[in-house]
Amino acid sequence: MPQKMRNPGYQRAAQVWEHDCAVLFNGIDFGPNLLYRKLRFLPGKIKRQQTNVAGMPGRLDDSDAAGYCVPDNLTGTLELWVTNARDWGMPGMTPEGYMSPEARFLKQISNQCRLNFHSSNGFYLNAFCELTKYERFDLGFKIAMKLDCEPYWWEDPQSAIEIDLGSVSQTNLFDHSTATLSTSHLGAQESCTWLDTNLGGLYVLRASPDNYAEVTVSGLNAAKRYSVGCQNTLDRGIWQLYDQNGRRVLSWPVTGVTSLTFRLISKSSFYDPVGFRDLCIYEVDAAACTGEITTLDAPLYELSCTLDAPARIIIGGEQYKLPVGEDVPVYGLSIPPRTTVPVQIVSDVACFGWIKYRRGARSCTL
């Protein structure tokens, strides 16, 4: 059985990988015909920022003026084998069109590509690959290339902070026995009554189309936030929500209210009653959560967020907007390497999602 690579810096004896190519190029596995042989690399040297001092010998070194040293690009070499030249050059239908494995491989390394090493410790390189050998041997090829890489190995997957703002309490504040029912907008013989059933209670409204009854819940706290809900049976009616000033509430969680009124509206004939069940008012907790960002050898200049509502992140007293969307980048950060920074995420509404960021390491001995 072939040995596993302990980490990308470990040089093992050349031997055939029997089941996979061990290296993915931009996520593409070229199969057992392309065999990993050897990887060598050197961590990037520290960039020197030196300035001549007028009238004095020597130079002033301010390489860590930002508070940390900045590495230059990482360099290395990668060696591969192709065991069957015929299959390597044989075209076939692929997601990229009618291309041979060889053509697809050369296309991937024509620009910067991502190199994932199987059986490593979960880090990858972003590299420019320059072919230095493409030599036929027997029925296959020997391939060698120089690597000019970003100075950091990157973690795969990215680190993440989950955001769950505005958790809902388990206590339903709606109680029909204390709620106020108004039928002043119903005509003669029209009615709205509370009915207890085995499946729970509900309001039964018997009214002509667009006539309605109102159910009001008082005693709410204007400083708190509330989530509201209601269901109507058989889609024969609709419900609307109003605050204590008679203004219609169009979205929730809602805050600044001392009472809420459910308007139960009939959309059927007088002879087809409408049922409204599961009226609920839940208190929503304060929309804030905390976490921390830990960097490795790379400073953090950006992160990405996936949120279903707008929020803000507070890092070291600085606020950054977190927009709605999927994997939306957030720029303007500057978190030094090898630090752990507490963060707070706040929002005016309930929202859920996560923040992702990449931590870089110059070595793979973590």
Which residues, 6+ apart, have CB-to-CB distance to 93 below 8 Å? none
**Could you tell me the pTM of the whole model?**
0.61
The Cα 347–Cα 281 span in angstroms is 20
Domain-ending residue, one of 284, 319, 343: 284
Query: Based on the domain organization, do 163 and 303 belong to the same domain?
Result: yes
Q: Is residue 336 included in any domain, yes or no?
A: yes
Query: Based on the domain organization, do 301 and 267 belong to the same domain?
Result: no
CB atoms within 10 A of CB 151: 19
Q: Is residue 3 included in any domain, yes or no?
A: no
DSSP letter at 64?
A: T
Which H/E stretch holds residue 148? strand 140-149
Which residues, 6+ apart, have CB-to-CB distance to 149 below 8 Å? 41, 73, 74, 75, 76, 125, 126, 127, 128
Q: Is residue 366 included in any domain, yes or no?
A: no
Q: Is residue 10 included in any domain, yes or no?
A: no
Q: Is residue 253 included in any domain, yes or no?
A: yes
Query: Based on the domain organization, do 276 and 316 belong to the same domain?
Result: no
Length of the chain: 366
Query: Based on the domain organization, do 111 and 191 belong to the same domain?
Result: no
Would you state the structure tokens that stand for residue 218, as one six-digit string? Answer: 């008082």
Of 2, 218, 213, 196, whose CA–CA distance to 118 is shortest?
2
CATH number of the CATH domain containing 296: 2.60.120.260
Query: Based on the domain organization, do 266 and 307 belong to the same domain?
Result: no
Q: What is the domain count for the chain?
A: 3
Q: Is 177 left (phi over 0), alpha (psi -120 to 50) or beta?
A: alpha
Q: Is residue 295 included in any domain, yes or no?
A: yes
Query: Based on the domain organization, do 291 and 163 belong to the same domain?
Result: yes
Query: Based on the domain organization, do 266 and 308 belong to the same domain?
Result: no
CATH number of the CATH domain containing 250: 2.60.120
Query: Based on the domain organization, do 244 and 312 belong to the same domain?
Result: no
Q: What is the dihedral of CA 98, 100, 102, 107, to 10 degrees?
A: 10
Query: Based on the domain organization, do 32 and 134 belong to the same domain?
Result: yes
**What pLDDT, on the 0 to 100 scale, is given for residue 148?**
95
- Cα 40 to the chain's mean position, in Å? 33
Q: Is residue 15 included in any domain, yes or no?
A: no
**Cα four-point dihedral sign 148, 152, 156, 162:** negative
- The stretches in the chain having pLDDT less than 50 are 1-19, 365-366
Q: Look up the domain containing 103 and give its range.
A: 23-151
CATH number of the CATH domain containing 63: 2.40.30
Q: 346 to each of 166, 238, 251, 312, 320, how far by Cα in Å?
A: 10, 33, 19, 5, 11
Domain-ending residue, one of 225, 255, 284: 284
Query: Based on the domain organization, do 256 and 309 belong to the same domain?
Result: no
The Cα 362–Cα 149 span in angstroms is 11
Q: Is residue 173 included in any domain, yes or no?
A: no
Query: Based on the domain organization, do 301 and 276 belong to the same domain?
Result: no
Q: In this predicted model, what pLDDT tens digit does every residue of 95-135 receive, in sequence order? A: 667 888 999 999 999 999 999 987 667 889 999 999 999 99
Q: Look at residue 284 and give its three-state secondary structure.
A: strand
Amino acid at 289: C
Q: In this predicted model, what pLDDT tens digit does every residue of 148-159 receive, in sequence order? A: 999 999 988 889
Query: Based on the domain organization, do 83 and 188 belong to the same domain?
Result: no
Q: In this predicted model, what pLDDT tens digit does every residue of 37-64 receive, in sequence order? A: 888 888 888 877 777 777 777 777 776 7
